[in-house]
Structure 1
């Protein structure tokens, strides 16, 4: 059994495809297939079920892949320990971030990271929470910035900030001149939501649960419309299609000609943004440096949660 063989089975488990796994490992598919077959013979069990279009991991294979990932991380930790003796912050940090945080935090975060730790470039991956959690588990990412709650995966978690929500309405809407809006008042409106898969969609439905499905009242059928990103939804609001709820940091810095942003009445709904990483990740100084770069950001309207 070799580290190379362990890398191969982790890649196949991640890609669910021998060809893509071979490409990810920079080897030919026959080389990868032969190595995995040799490992299966050595262990005297089948790690993968080969289907017509996709490869699945057997139940015992799942446990072995998890152990293989742990072994690979421990092997990589040996090199990291050696590096830390020279420069603890040397080398790229693979950072994941969810779609509803990335566009609003990254411009300033990257600037501060470059200023504070130029020797630690950020390799960025923007994705859904569930995908980022999977990439953390398989070692494709070192850490991720996400919003709670998410499934307990045994990750180490450091809170970064609490971010309030605000209501976005068309500038000519009756609510546009209000100082504050209650969640109950939104029940009468056409709500614009992010599509399925975005955790912020779930956050909005916690505030306005009646929009989880089509509903009806005396005025007829109300529907919720979906958009692919917060920026797309803001354009839909500007065009008069409805109203939406957005996180505070996504608000434009300058007044907008077609959209008004109104705070919620107390209690104001919020989300907690956290930094998560595998407990086996050994670059503690890199995590601390990234947190400091986040805290150096303006985070206007959000409440910093420093240690």
Structure 2
């Protein structure tokens, strides 16, 4: 049994496809298949069910894949320990970010990271929460910036900030002149929401459960639109199609505005809905200095309107 064989079975379990797993490991498919068959013969068990267009992991195979991942991480940590002896921050850091944070935090975060720790480039991945958690578990990512709550996966977590929500309305909307809006006042409005898979959609539905009623004759929301990104939805708000709820950091800064604004942003009245944004990483990840450096770089960003957390 070799680390290379363990790397192959982890890749197949992740990709659910021998061809894609071989590409991810930079080997030919026959090479990968022969190695896995050899390992199955050595262990005298079947790791994968091969049938149809997708490969599935057997129950026993799933346990072995998890142990293989832990073994690969332990082997990688040996190199990390040696590297930390020379420079604790040397080498790239693989960072995941959810879609409703990435566009508003990453540009400034990358700049601060380059300035502070140029020897630690960020390898970035934007995705849904559930996919980022899976990538953390399998070792494809070192850490991720997420919004709570999410399933408890035994990760180490450091809180970053609490971010209030705002209501985005067309500038000519009757609500645009208000200094504050309660969630109850939004029941009769046309609401534009992110599509399924976005955790921010779930946050909005928690604030205003009425938004989950999509039928045109439902009491409350007359109609709804599901968008793929907050920026798409904000453009639709600007065109007068409805209103939406957005996180504070997604609001354009005044210096970035060109011409007269088409969207107005109004705060909620108390109690103001918020989301907690955290940095999460595997407890087995050994580059503690890299996590601390990343968190410091995040705090160096402006983060206007949010409550920074240091606990």
TM interval, shorter chain, is over 0.9
**Partner in structure 2 of residue 110 of structure 1:** 110
Q: CA deviation at 1:217?
A: 6.3
**Which string of whole-angstrom CA distances, capped at 9 and with x for unpartnered residues, describes residues 209-252 of structure 1?**
11113256698971221111000000000000000000000001
Gaps of 5+ in 2: none
Q: Distance in 2 between the 1:221 and 1:8 partners?
A: 50
Query: Aligned in 2, Cα 1:294/1:218: closer, same or farther, shift over 3 Å?
Result: closer
Deviations 1:169-219 (A, max 9, x none): 000000000000000000010000001100000000011111113256698
Q: Find the aligned partners of 1:180 and 1:220 in 2 and give their Cα distance.
A: 20
2:38 match: 38
Deviations along 1:142-174, whole A, 9 cap, x unmatched?
A: 000010000010111100000000000000000
- What are the equivalent positions in structure 2 for 1:97-176 lying under 5 Å apart? 97-176=97-176
RMSD (Å), alpha carbons: 1.3
Distance 1:134 1:217 in 2: 39
Aligned partners of 2:42, 2:206: CA distance in 1, in Å? 51
Residue of structure 2 equivalent to 1:188: 188
- TM-score, normalized by length of structure 1? 0.98
Which moves more between the two structures, 249-258 or 115-124? 249-258
Q: d(CA) in 2 for partners of 1:28 and 1:170?
A: 55
**What is the CA–CA distance in structure 2 between the aligned matches of 1:211 and 1:140, rounded to whole Å?**
35
The alignment partner of 2:109 has SS state of helix
Q: Secondary structure at the match of 1:176?
A: helix
Q: Indicate the residue corresponding to 2:225 in structure 1.
A: 225
2:278 corresponds to = 274
1:83 aligned residue:
83
| CA–CA distance in structure 2, aligned partners of residues 232 and 216 of structure 1 | 22
> Whole-Å Cα distance in 2 between the matches of residues 58 and 224 of structure 1?
42
1:39-60, Cα deviation, whole Å (9 max, x unpaired): 1111111100012100000111
> Which residue matches 1:284?
288
**Which residue does the alignment assign to 2:238?**
238
SS in structure 1 opposite 2:79? Answer: helix
Moved more, 115-124 or 219-228: 219-228
Q: Is 1:14 paired with 2:14?
A: yes
Determine helix, strand or coil for the equivalent of 2:85. Answer: helix
Rounded to whole Å, the distance in 1 between the matches of 2:155 and 2:53 is: 32
| Counterpart position of 1:54 | 54
Partner secondary structure for residue 157 of structure 2: strand
**CA contact under 8 A between 1:211 and 1:223: conserved in structure 2?**
no
TM-score w.r.t. the length of structure 2 is: 0.96
Structure 2 partner of 1:301: 305
CA distance 1:219–1:213, shift in 2 (3 Å) = closer
Indicate the residue corresponding to 1:67 in structure 2: 67
What does 1:239-254 correspond to in 2, within 5 Å?
239-254=239-254
CA distance in 2, matches of 1:64, 1:218: 50
Distance in 2 of aligned mates of 1:84 and 1:304 = 29
In structure 2, relative to structure 1, the CA distance for the partners of 1:218 and 1:69 (3 Å cut) is closer
